Amino acid sequence: MRKRFEAAVTDIVSSGERLCDTRRGAQASRRTGHGIARRWWMAAAAASVLAVAIAWAGFFRFKPRAALAGLTPIPVDTHPIAVLSRFGIAQNGASPIVFRGGLVLESDVPHFGGLSGLRMTDRGHRFAAVTDAGYWVQGRLLYDQGRPNGVADVIIASVLGPEGKPLRENGKGDIESLELTGEAAYLGFEGHRNGVAVFRPTSDLLRRPGLLLPVPQEIVKLPKGRGLEALAAFPTGHDFAGALLAIAERDKTGRDLAPAWILQDGPALELEVRLTDGYDISDAVFLPEGDLLLLERRLSPLGGFKMRLRRIPAAKIHAGTVLDGVAILEANRLLHEIDNMEGIAAHRDENGITVVTAVSDDNFLPIQRKLLLQWELK
């Protein structure tokens, strides 16, 4: 691996939020209260069905078997999400982050799904994503007065391996993480052998075959479903600038510590990430001042999907440590317009505003949704 990465294509950003759990206004009628309670119990029942379906899905394959040929433009319809809360719960005005808006993404092309990694480019006007079925997804994100308003020019293509053949044909199509720098793209995949593939340069990325990087045997032997969920390039100015931080999804020791590695020119360095409240690692991105933003996910039988953003101070990120930080955003599927949130990215827009973007993995199930959500930092 090259010792140093160039500056990331996007200016990666900072900080976060916590949503207020107090209801707006107080004097709701008894009828309105009953309506809210009924909707809540319906949502709870749906969440339970969803959790059972996700568990059941582990025994069956919903990913499309037939491959797409070459670069394939696909139509994607969108429906706006104006408010994050399902029930009009007001956001805490003191929060440092504000929900900007979101989109529900829909397409008749069955290969469009399973979004598991995301990076934004061109000041947030373009995106690059990967799926856990082994595909690239690229396109433009459209805005209306700063809010996501649609997508255009969406193209999907197989991720190619060293011999120019789709990576999934070698059992490496379950791609769970993506990092994009000025010189290369890096993908983390899991399966019977876990690893990292590099694609350089990034021009004509969808046609470019990747090379497998040497990684520690501890990564290769990670259990199925506990592979590398996050890859993040240390930014310029950090002690480990020019290296990758790779984080596994969950703990394998029973100590609530997810294994992580600093992949650099030379031996990999080990560290761990503390897991709390039943959350697993879903993705990560470095903020410009060096702090790390973790996207975490949880699935419970009664509550359905939950998401959390946790900020890890830059000073704590070094070999041999246990990384921990403060939760700056928490949301759940019962109360908020979220789903199985798997990918996170960040950028600065034309006005210098920092924006965080997250996408969801629908597991190719009709009862889940493909979402793109954005927040801006004050």
Q: Could you give the number of structural domains in the chain?
A: 1
Q: For the domain that residue 326 is a member of, what is the CATH number?
A: 2.115.10
Average pLDDT of span 240-265: 91
Whether 77 maps to a domain, the answer reads yes
The residues that bridge with 298 in the sheet, in sequence order, are 306
How does pLDDT run across 192-230, given as a tens digit for each residue? 789 999 999 999 999 999 999 999 999 999 988 788 999
What whole-number distance in Å separates Cα of residue 28 and Cα of residue 39?
Answer: 15
Q: What is the pTM (predicted TM-score) of this model?
A: 0.84
Whether 153 maps to a domain, the answer reads yes
Whether 323 maps to a domain, the answer reads yes
Whether 146 maps to a domain, the answer reads yes
How does pLDDT run across 265-315, given as a tens digit for each residue? 999 999 999 999 999 999 999 987 778 999 999 998 777 899 999 999 988
Whether 17 maps to a domain, the answer reads no
What percent of the chain clears pLDDT 90, i.e. is strictly above it? 62
Q: Is the pLDDT of residue 172 over 80?
A: yes
Whether 34 maps to a domain, the answer reads yes
Question: pLDDT at position 217, please?
Answer: 94
Question: pLDDT at position 363, please?
Answer: 94
Whether 10 maps to a domain, the answer reads no
Question: pLDDT at position 335, please?
Answer: 92
Token digits of residue 271: 């560290």
Report which of 353, 359, 355 is spatially closest to residue 375, judged by C-alpha positions: 355
Report which of 137, 136, 173, 157 is spatially closest to residue 61, judged by C-alpha positions: 173
Question: Which is more confident, 37 or 92?
Answer: 92
Domain that holds residue 101: 30-60+70-377
What whole-number distance in Å separates Cα of residue 347 and Cα of residue 182?
Answer: 14
CA 92, 98, 99, 100 torsion-angle sign: positive
